[in-house]
Amino acid sequence: MVCKLSTATLVGIDAMPVEVEVHMSNGLPKFDLVGLPDGAVREGQFRIRSAIENSQFDLGYARVTVNLAPADLRKDGGAFDLPIAVASLAAAGVVSLERRNLLYAGELALDGRLRPIRGALSLAQSAKRQGLAGTVLPAANAAEAALVSGVAVYGVRTLQQAADFAAGVIELPRAEPATLETQVGHDVDFAEVCGQEAARRAAEVAAAGGHNLMLVGPPGTGKTMIARRLATILPRMSEAEAIEVTKIHSVAGQLETRSLMTQRPFRSPHHTCSSAGLIGGGGLPRPGEVSLAHNGVLFLDELPEFQRQALEAMRQPLESGGVTIVRARQSVSFPTRFMLVAAMNPCPCGYRGSGIRACTCGEKEARRYYNRVSGPLLDRFDLFVRVEPVPTALLLEGAASEASASIAQRVAAAREIQRGRFKRCKPRCNAQISAGAIWHHCKLTASSRELLQAYGQAHQLSARALHRSCRVARTLADLSGAEQAEEEHLALALSMQQERALG
């Protein structure tokens, strides 16, 4: 007897349909698994047999042949345990399979319990695309999968419960979706940053327009402190953005709460991070840090200490908002729309031009340190800010600075203006305006245009630098509520260019 069930396998952040076919035949007891399974899927036969026995079921002494179709699609992970086990029980005649129009997925423990799996949100979306009535998943993943409308999600805790539900013996309630109602507060605040008005202003502009930010300064001046507080002033994610971010983290196996992510991601990998860890990769490609930071912030502290190869690989995802990882059998795409925030010292010792102490680095050594970061990558930063030491007297005063909540209100107002501007366009913020639409969305006054032309000719700015200045000026205009980018907005945008910050 042959029994068939629907499931899916993760490819990138999406799930591709897979049909589980189980055939029971006479012969020596054996479990054959075909259909290009990986090691975790092949090892599932031992988990499945133990789970079936410990759930008080008996397959007898039959030969079991399992086919995962299509045969040329590689199958990954332990989520195939549940559909194989249920289909095996049905093929052996142990249970009747009344509920076939469902997607089954789940990893089995040896005692028959179901463990959480990766990519539950993607699996539910696959069930919807396949036209299935719903999906049966581990109870720990049910709230996450229920975010997909139009698909019933049933959470089960054991193989026994899943088999009884598949046979129509019991009824299960539909899982309720996680919501955006609960918002966990941040444990850091801009009120804790003393002084640093220029850096605080740059952080506000970066958050308002989604711009990439570079902080340059000696150690101990607050570069990391400012960067870590940037997430506290970003606007709250929309439901669509939250689902998108949750989906990526679920596929990567980093969804700790098993519910909807409500805060924008803040990723801060160590400088020893490899290219695959930063961009994504592996034999079966997984999202890297640039994708885990999607719709949020990627902070690279001590930027010149990162591997040159890893940094160069980041240039294309920064420009296109996505990365495609190609392997012999498949190519996988991940989204990478994030704000890049980086911090670096002015030289290896960190004190060049600081006035704190004498720099021990020579001119060539300092230049060699800067050259660890290529010019094309530096050209992707919209804002460059020198973070100078805070006077001791100001630190001792302990005067409170403006809180994140107050700054966040201005940022939210600027983002609301951009939301209205891009209602019928692809960009979500000013930093994402394409070169073709730059002059349509970033209208300049006559005096601003003259200033940009004069500055561009004097400093031989590239086309990207000109467009970058216009985008930043547009954000400054949004923060001030201006219809057009005035001369003062453009002048401030040009003052935050690379040459001024690093010169």
Model pLDDT for residues 61-76, shown as the tens digit of each residue: 888 999 999 998 989 8
Nearest by Cα to 62 from 77, 47, 52, 75 = 52
Give yes or no for residue 266 having a pLDDT over 80.
Answer: yes
Per-residue model confidence (pLDDT) at position 500: 44
Residue 228 has pLDDT above 50, yes or no: yes
Helix axes 404-421, 463-480, angle to 10 degrees: 110
Residue 479 sits at the vertex; the CA angle it makes with 474 and 483, to the nearest 5 degrees, is 55
pLDDT greater than 60 at residue 132: yes
Kindly tell me the burial class for residue 375, based on how many C-beta atoms sit within 10 Å of its own C-beta (0-12, 13-18, 19 or more): exposed
Using pLDDT thresholds of 50, 70 and 90, give the confidence band for residue 502.
very low
Question: What CATH number does the domain located at 433-503 have?
Answer: 1.10.8
Asked if residues 195 and 274 have their Cβ atoms less than 8 Å apart, the reply is no
Q: Please, which residues have CB within 8 angstroms of residue 272's CB and are 6 or more apart in sequence?
A: none
Return the minimum-mean-pLDDT range out of 32-36, 275-279, 440-444: 440-444
Could you tell me whether strands 286-287 and 213-216 are parallel, antiparallel, or unpaired per DSSP bridges?
A: unpaired
First-to-last C-alpha distance (Å) of the chain: 76
CATH topology of domain 2-166: Ribosomal Protein S5; domain 2 (3.30.230)
Structure confidence by residue, pLDDT tens digits, 445-460? 888 889 989 988 888 8
Q: What are phi and psi of 357, to 5 degrees?
A: -155, 170
Alpha carbon 326 to its chain centroid, in Å, reads: 19
Task: Say how far apart CA 97 and CA 425 lie, in whole Å.
Answer: 48
**Residue holding tokens 């220029």?**
198
Segment 303-331, tens digit of pLDDT: 999 999 999 999 999 988 999 998 877 78
Place 142 in a pLDDT band, splitting at 50, 70 and 90. Answer: very high
- Quick one: average pLDDT of 273-301? 92
Q: Quick check: 114 and 162 in contact, CB under 8 A?
A: yes
Least confident of 259-273, 283-297, 394-408: 394-408
φ, ψ for residue 302, nearest 5 deg: 55, 55
- Structure confidence at residue 185 (pLDDT): 65
Which CATH number among 3.40.50.2300, 3.40.50.300, 3.30.70.1060, 3.30.420.40 corresponds to the domain 190-424? 3.40.50.300
Q: Where are the domains of the chain?
A: 2-166, 190-424, 433-503
> Residue 503: pLDDT above 70?
no
Count of residues making up the chain = 503
Q: What percent of the chain has pLDDT over 90?
A: 59
Locus of tokens 């983002």: 415
Residue 392's alpha-carbon distances to 123, 223, 397, in angstroms, are: 56, 17, 9
What confidence tens digit (pLDDT) does each residue in 388-411 have? Answer: 888 888 888 877 789 999 999 999
70 cis-preceded (ω within 30 degrees of 0): yes
pLDDT band at 49 (very low <50, low <70, confident <90, very high): very high
Position 463 pLDDT exceeds 90: no
How does pLDDT run across 150-195, given as a tens digit for each residue? 999 999 999 999 999 999 999 999 999 876 544 556 788 898 888 8
Query: CA 403, CA 411: separation in Å to the nearest integer?
Result: 13
